[in-house]
Amino acid sequence: MSDAQTPNQYAMQDPRTQYPRPPFPRQPQEAPGLASKMDPTPDHGEESYRGFGRMEGRKALITGGDSGIGRAAAIAYAREGAAVAINYLESEQSDAESLKELIEGEGGTVHLFPGDLTDESFCTQLIADAVEALGGLDVLINNAGKQVFQESIDDVTSEQFDQTFKTNVYAMFWLSKAAVPHLPPGGSIINTTSIQGYKPSATLLDYATTKGAQIEFTKALAKQLADKGIRVNAVAPGPFWTPLQPSGGQPQDKVEEFGSQVPLGRPGQPAEIASTYVFLATQEAGYITGEVFGVTGGDPTM
């Protein structure tokens, strides 16, 4: 999204027209997709997010941090004063490098750790590497996700089902388990679930199932970790304009009208959800754990 298109998030305005509305052009990509190839280009906060120093000295690891919601969270965290590490797939290196250039160009700290989260040993090593690079760990954002639409259960292969669960559920479990010994009292785990965990689409059978699992994982782990002073929460986005959608997450006819079904009539931009991840990581949310925050453009999660 160009400078001319980037709204001032801090000025009062009509949320229906704050960002682009459908129809959008068809734009098929190979999974996992690149934000740089999307039309319109998503706003991750590159020009719009303003930091206020709310995370000075914090250390955070964000999966899926190269683009979409993870990229927006990384930009916000860096501008709030946190040191950041991100994970992503090697095919997403160009998006990760552009993020690194942005954050380091502003004097921030970001470490890049490409790799496949469906591998348990990699997940365990990722936590160790992030702790070493950052000098500790205060926040873990389990954000990376796999979404592939299929019209029928007959079209969902066991391989797809397995990969979706390993990316969305197993990785969350492996990373959280490895991270807990490093998180101090006041530390936070934030999981990205979805409105699909409450209101599943027929074409997202396996994805929606994993999102329901993430919600229950969040609630149960929050109870386990309360006596350690570690909070666990989740964010449930509605339709957000990220590479997940045109790279197989939705059919192209739905990409054209993406977000039109919610009351605000458009998809959310990643920059619009970043502050939710900031809030949940800070002491402003110190009495909040085991909760799921819906950011859905007016489509209630319940």
Distance CA 64, CA 74 (A): 10
Distance CA 74, CA 83 (A): 9
Give yes or no for a contact between 26 and 255, defined as CB atoms under 8 angstroms apart: yes
pLDDT at 4: 42
Give the rounded percent of residues in the chain with a pLDDT score beyond 70.
98
277 carries an active-site annotation: no
Of these residues, 49, 170, 198, 207, which one is catalytic? Answer: 207
Question: For residue 3, what pLDDT band results from cuts at 50, 70 and 90?
Answer: very low
Tokens of 234: 């989740």
Give the rounded percent of residues in the chain with a pLDDT score beyond 90.
92
The model carries a pTM of 0.95
Average pLDDT, the chain: 95
Distance CA 112, CA 115 (A): 10
From residue 71, how far is each of 37, 42, 79, 166, 240 by CA, in Å? 15, 10, 12, 21, 13
Ordered structural domains, the chain, with CATH: 53-295 (3.40.50.720)
Q: What average pLDDT score do residues 254-263 get?
A: 96
Q: What average pLDDT score do residues 164-175 get?
A: 98
